[in-house]
Amino acid sequence: MKREASGRKQRTTKLGYNERHARSGITAPLPDIETFPNQFKGYEITIEIPEYTAICPKTNLPDFGTVTVHYMPDQECLELKSLKMYIHAYRNLGIFYENAVNRILQDVVKACRPVWARVTGTFAARGGLRSVIEAKYP
């Protein structure tokens, strides 16, 4: 175990991943997702974003995938241009798949307070493995 600057012990795995890698990108500043007033009730919205890209915080290699946001709006709907700018902000951000999907869900819920929401990340194969991550609200 190594010690962080704070003196706290930092757990490191055999592959060299540590807490700094695990937390990378979770609290990074990102553009706000804007909304507009919803006019109807009881319907669902699915938004596919096939050009998601970010950076692996350990290797600094690019990650690619499709992020799908599926939700039932309540009072507000997500404004698509601001959502696009929000997602594009991940391009140079070091963040793991799991953290990105959960962060996107958190930010979507914060922006529009949906009845329910689901964010799915389907990430491109790398090294013979493909990951699909899903986070749900509530």
Instruction: Cite the annotated binding site by residue number.
Output: 78-80, 97-98
Cα separation, 118 vs 34, whole angstroms: 18
Q: Looking at this protein, which amino acid is placed at residue 34?
A: E
Asked about 63 being catalytic, the answer comes back as yes
Asked about 56 being catalytic, the answer comes back as yes
Active-site annotation holder among 32, 63, 74, 107: 63
Instruction: Classify residue 33 by its DSSP letter.
Output: P
Question: Residues forming the annotated binding site for substrate?
Answer: 78-80, 97-98
Give every strand in the sheet of 116-123, ordered side by side: 45-55, 62-72, 116-123, 132-137
**E strand residue ranges, the chain:** 2-3, 9-10, 35-37, 45-55, 62-72, 76-78, 116-123, 132-137
Catalytic residues: 56, 63
